Amino acid sequence: MADAPLRVLISGGGTGGHIHPALAIAEALLEKKPNTAIEFVGALGRMEMERIPAAGHIITGLPITGIDRKLSIRNLRFPFRLLRSLWQSRRIVKRFQPDVVVGVGGFASGPLLWAAAKAGIPTLIQEQNGFPGITNRLLAKKVDRVCAGFPGLERWFPAHKIVETGNPLRAGILNRMGAGNEKESNATDARRHFDLTDDIPVLLVLGGSLGAASMNEAVRQLVSSGPLKGKGIQVLWQCGGRYEAEQLAWAKNQADPQLHVRGFIDRMDLAYDAASVIASRAGAMSIAELALVGKPTLLVPSPHVAEDHQTKNAKSVVNRQGAILVPDTRIAQDLEQEVRTLLLNESAAKALGAALLATSRPEAAKRVADEVLLLVDTKR
């Protein structure tokens, strides 16, 4: 029936980089078709089992886990967990009777999309990174559509299946960041929120919610080499929750009034507004937000992620002249000089920010939702 509610299963998780786009896709589908029935499938013990219900959705957990790179007892259990997860996925598909199944990467999306494809149900994956995760690579030949966050995924997926949509961000983030609006960001109010000075450029350092040891060391070297005011900058530093006590104590001993430390910044929109230059990790969703901001940015890929995918993410932007890539091993030595260069060359900094803004995809969630609906229509 044409007016029957759309039924969608969305699977994946493990990290915020998978969960946030999953929620954004669900949000966009519900905006287009309010009577859509959506359920999620995740991996037991992973963060999606808390985050998805907190967002108001139903989720079922599978016993699937990853494979350790080193020999371990847990790897011996993997085949049994996989078989159980495949069996449970078939039961979920049979119970829910979805019109389409969407995978966003992570352990749980593999068994569920395999079961859905086996049952002849339309399947779509949203790949956030410039280098796909192993689950999505394994699903490449099974799925009907691939919505790509970055260009250049033809090496891993059939070209005719790929649609470059960008990475989906939730409407709340887009609205708070002013995406698509004509208004200029209010740097004065944003700086006041963080007790920053109006007339001194702001370096925003983002090592992620947990923090990054290398980027924390870079800030410490920057401060230790002389007063920040003498360098003509002030620093808003998200050091990460696990490092917060240590770095707050260290910063107190430095007594530099231009250094502002936070374990975690909950008003990232205001932090972006306050910034003159940004140094950030290169996670896919971080880059999606930074592109909307369009300010001169240093991308520092984490070397600790699977298959070095953050470097691939960063290079995708750098190749379009949208950011400067600084290797993790060089950030402590190079941070001050890179920031100084940008602040002294205003035209180059503006060009960098403009090129980054040109890569932004504020309509990504809606575009993925359109692809989901189109897939359902063509398969009916």
Note the pLDDT tens digit of each residue in 17-64: 889 999 999 999 999 999 999 999 999 998 999 999 999 999 999 998
Q: What is the average per-residue pLDDT within 232-252?
A: 95
For residue 75, the model assigns a pLDDT of 61
> What percent of the chain shows pLDDT beyond 90?
78
Contacts with 249 (C-beta within 8 Å, 6 or more apart), sequence order? none
Torsion from C-alpha of 214, 219, 225, 229, nearest 10 degrees: 170
Q: What is the average per-residue pLDDT within 176-205?
A: 80
Reported residue count of the chain is 380
d(CA 129, CA 148): 8
For residues 81 and 63, is the Cβ–Cβ distance under 8 A?
yes
Q: What is the average per-residue pLDDT within 194-214?
A: 92
For residue 318, the model assigns a pLDDT of 97
Note the pLDDT tens digit of each residue in 119-156: 999 999 999 999 998 889 999 999 999 999 999 999 99
Q: Which structural domains are found in the chain, ordered by start?
A: 7-169+362-379 (3.40.50.2000), 172-358 (3.40.50.2000)
For residue 65, the model assigns a pLDDT of 76
Note the pLDDT tens digit of each residue in 32-41: 999 999 999 9
Per-residue pLDDT for 183 more than 60? Answer: no
Query: What is the pLDDT confidence band of residue 71, given thresholds at 50, 70 and 90?
Result: low
Per-residue pLDDT for 277 more than 50? Answer: yes
Q: Residue 24: exposed, middle, or buried by beta-carbon count in 10 A (0-12, 13-18, 19+)? A: buried
Encoding tokens for residue 108?
């749980």
Q: Please give the model's pTM, rounded to 2 decimal places.
A: 0.88
For residue 339, the model assigns a pLDDT of 97
Encoding tokens for residue 78?
């993997």
| Higher pLDDT pick, 4 / 352 | 352
d(CA 51, CA 281): 22
Encoding tokens for residue 21?
């786009």
Per-residue pLDDT for 340 more than 70? Answer: yes
> Poorest-confidence range of 247-256, 277-286, 302-311?
302-311
For residue 14, the model assigns a pLDDT of 83
| Higher pLDDT pick, 177 / 179 | 177
Per-residue pLDDT for 231 more than 60? Answer: yes
d(CA 185, CA 192): 13
Q: Please give, one letter per residue, the 3-state secondary structure of the chain.
A: CCCCCCEEEEECCCCHHHHHHHHHHHHHHHHHCCCCEEEEEEECCCCHHHHHHHCCCEEEEECCCCCCCCCCHHHHHHHHHHHHHHHHHHHHHHHHCCCEEEECCCCCHHHHHHHHHHCCCCEEEEECCCCCCHHHHHCCCCCCEEEECCCCHHHCCCHHHEEECCCCCCHHHHHHCCCCCCCCCCHHHHHHHCCCCCCCCEEEEECCCCCCHHHHHHHHHHHHCCCHHHHCCEEEEECCHHHHHHHHHHHHHHCCCCEEEECCCCCHHHHHHHCCEEEECCCHHHHHHHHHHCCCEEECCCCCCHHHHHHHHHHHHHCCCCCEECCCCCHHHHHHHHHHHHHHCHHHHHHHHHHHHHCCCCCHHHHHHHHHHHHHHHHC
Query: What is the pLDDT confidence band of residue 288, given thresholds at 50, 70 and 90?
Result: very high
